[in-house]
Amino acid sequence: MEYKYMKNGLRIPTIGFGTYKLLGEEGKTAIINAIKDGYKLIDTAQMYGNEDLVGQAIIESGIPREDLFITTKVNNPIRDYDKVITSIDESLKKLQTNYVDLVLLHWPIPLDYRDNWIVKNNEAWTALEFLVTTGKIKSIGVSNFYPEHLEPLLQDCLIEPCVNQIRLSIGDYKEELVDYCFRNDLVIEAYSPLGRGKAGDNTIIIDMANKYNVAISKLMLRWSLQHGFIPIPKSSHDNRIKENLDVFNFEISSEDMNILDNIKGYSEETSLKPELIQF
């Protein structure tokens, strides 16, 4: 596994395994397989309802906890200081660990806080900062935040966010947001890096994958890596889990990267701004 360093000096794996919608025995088996296959970054969230499954999979994998990088996210309705503290304690119990490597605020403008989201995000962030001082959290960040959401947080925080996890893939390349994050030394994690299964309908992507003699999924993950993103693919099939990790043995040319960057509209839609999402 390759790593990169965040602004707080701690390192993070350059590819992760997503667990959204992984539930039950099938979900646990997929997580165990991913860990055994070599994934170090395991991404979950309070909203996913599977932190207990992730915790049990880690134990059953036999891989030492300290060899893994576990991420969870604060649920959208939770922004009160005390409730954030309580929610992380509950996450730790479910994950069966005494610390989480990375905790993210899941969305910038939850439905319950449309009118005072800046104040409530700052309150939740203060709670996360406190938990960093206790050692229960190693690093903190955000998810689905655009510049207008990050600016108020950056102006108020004591510990700056290390990560912004956003939806990114070929055909959904948010160049302005990416540039903003990199200017502010934020590591970018790319969720849905495979375009939610729509890339197979795009002839440019198909032809490019054939040119490099790789699966479409590997081409898309390699595109993320070459942009400096940390892709977080998800699968419940062990052969695809292994295949998605095998992306370090080829390189897309700069000319082809430019072609892929400029693909538009093959997926069902580009991501909506977070304030339009009803959570």
Sign of torsion over alpha carbons 197, 110, 148, 138: negative
Identify residue 84 by its one-letter amino acid code. V
Structure tokens at 209: 């994958």
Annotated active-site positions, please? 48
What is the rounded CA–CA span in Å between residue 17 and residue 68? 11
What is the rounded CA–CA span in Å between residue 44 and residue 51? 6
Strands 11-13 and 3-5: antiparallel
What is the rounded CA–CA span in Å between residue 55 and residue 42? 10
Region of 21 (left: φ > 0; alpha: ψ -120 to 50; beta: rest) is left
Identify residue 95 by its one-letter amino acid code. L
- Distance, CA of 7 to chain centre: 17
What is the rounded CA–CA span in Å between residue 217 and residue 38? 18
What is the rounded CA–CA span in Å between residue 134 and residue 237? 38
User: Contact, 209 vs 219, CB < 8 A?
Assistant: yes
Structure tokens at 203: 């002839």
Range 246-255 burial, b when 16+ CB lie within 10 A, else e: ebeeeebeee
